[in-house]
A and B are shown apart, each in its own frame.
Chain A
Amino acid sequence: NAGVTQTPKFQVLKTGQSMTLQCAQDMNHNSMYWYRQDPGMGLRLIYYSASEGTTDKGEVPNGYNVSRLNKREFSLRLESAAPSQTSVYFCASSDSLAVGRRTQYFGPGTRLTVL
């Protein structure tokens, strides 16, 4: 099992450009998440999808959109990138319906720089 995979690993954008970060999981998890991590800080939730077909805002959703394409895939889109969106982006998944097994599993991250 690959677990949670993310593409790309690195990306440099100019202000105003758009891009989509891709995430896929092969653990048959129902819930998926997007976080950002800024230097010296913990992770902050951007959006999450509790189950296929649903999405909801997290702590810092402004400037982002998401799509839960199917049970395996959850993408994050930046429509018009800004320097404030320079960060490391992590995708995660969990089996949130299973009491006692709600651990979140993380992908390797995407390091995004917006110039």
Chain B
Amino acid sequence: GIQVEQSPPDLILQEGANSTLRCNFSDSVNNLQWFHQNPWGQLINLFYIPSGTKQNGRLSATTVATERYSLLYISSSQTTDSGVYFCAANAGGTSYGKLTFGQGTILTVHP
């Protein structure tokens, strides 16, 4: 099956700093999503982005499908951005919803 690898595993920032999280995947994809899991365990979808670039406020994401990676940008980070960020993907030719998750990037933002 598809392999999904995220980096870095941990990231510590001061409030106001910018960061880039990376997701590499081993196969062509027809579904790629980014999620944020807050410290209370709730999973929130951030982007559905199998290709191209999207922006939502201070967050943006870019997927370069031909090179098999996706990037999540967080600008002007806030303490509420803390938590775990997951990338999830599924391989082309399989059911769209059959996602494989990466191990996550643990982000800690200090005031």
**Given the complex, which residues of A lie within 8 Å of B44, measured CB to CB?**
106
Contact A58 B98 (CB under 8 A): yes
Number of B residues with CB within 8 Å of any CB on chain A:
23
A-B contact count (CB 8 A): 63
CA distance A54 to B48 in the complex (A): 24
Instruction: From the candidates A90, A92, A96, A106, name the one contacting B96 in the complex (CB within 8 A).
Output: A96
Contact A59 B31 (CB under 8 A): no
B93 at interface, CB cutoff 8 A: no
CA distance A103 to B99 in the complex (A): 11
Per-position 1/0 for A16-59, Cβ under 8 A of B: 00000000000000010100000011111100101000001011
A108 at interface, CB cutoff 8 A: yes
**Given the complex, which residues of B lie within 8 Å of A109, measured CB to CB?**
41-42
Instruction: From the candidates A45, A94, A106, name the one contacting B42 in the complex (CB within 8 A).
Output: A106
**Given the complex, which residues of B lie within 8 Å of A105, measured CB to CB?**
45
A-B contacts, 9 of them at CB < 8 A, read A33-B97, A42-B102, A42-B104, A44-B101, A45-B98, A45-B100, A56-B95, A94-B96, A104-B97
